[in-house]
A = this chain, B = another copy of it.
């Protein structure tokens, strides 16, 4: 007979969900993944997905706590968990939305995202990674960068999210490399020098972006620019423009990078070229640590 979980941790994003069955001491008993992200589900479809991933759930005296972070709490998600506003500590169970009307064996809590009034900005999911990082590095004071579809730069001090900014870098890269005229000149692979050149070019002259892009196309047509080099330079131009914009965040700061390993390596290269040492942390692990930390009441 398998050990029954004491609670369930879930990272429910737009394009996928990851679930961990947890023992009370923080041990992971089992894990599951599914492509049934928020983007594919109507509100009534979330609970059946959750129950299926949990398998045979026995009758219980008290409902099984489920703690969810991410886009499941968006307006188009399972149930809207209103944002908390900066400056604030990463939200915990006390601020979570208890989803009404679920199977009586479950007590489903969705963690809020964090919003900033001016400049207007929002996050859902990244605040939990920040919480995980702070749980493991409680005295960290500085900036956490979370590269991705919508990269975040988060200024953290005294355990609070002070302010943050999002950049559409990853989404713009996906659109340009997959669907624009540039796709004809790109190929898989990587070229570190071309990436560094793109970063330098965009940081030195960010306004040139829309023209630098077309130059990539024209260099392919006229001078036979290699497809992997073109792809790396495109990535460098986008990351360079982000670094130029986020400079007030990182200049002279402690910077920690949280994210998937490949992307984090590129950001690290670009930041170290600016003479900035960075700390690296694994995003998946931080998510789970953040969900664990959300379950634990904070000390005053």
Contacts and interface: CB of A to CB of B under 8 A. Distances in A.
Interface string A255-274: 00000000000000000000
Contacts of A241: 207, 209-210
Please state the number of chain copies in the assembly. Answer: 2
B222 A117 contact: yes
Interface residues of A, number: 45
A180 B167 CA distance: 13
B168 A218 contact: no
A63 interface: no
A221 interface: yes
Contacts of A179: 175, 179
A172 to B, nearest CB: 6
Contacts of A214: 121, 150, 165-168
B166 A180 contact: no
A119 B83 CA distance: 47
A50 interface: no
Contact of A210 (B119, B219, B242): B242
Given A168-B180, A175-B180, A180-B175, A121 B209 contact: no
Interface of A: 75, 83, 115-117, 119-122, 150, 165-169, 171-172, 175-176, 179-181, 202, 205-211, 213-215, 217-219, 221-223, 238, 241-242, 244-246
Given A150-B181, A175-B176, 11 more contacts: A75-B221, A83-B222, A117-B222, A121-B214, A165-B214, A167-B214, A169-B210, A175-B179, A202-B207, A205-B245, A209-B245
Q: Which 4 A-B pairs have the closest CB atoms?
A: A206-B207, A207-B244, A120-B218, A167-B210
14 contacts: A115-B218, A119-B211, A120-B223, A121-B214, A165-B211, A165-B214, A169-B210, A172-B172, A172-B176, A172-B213, A175-B175, A202-B207, A206-B209, A210-B245
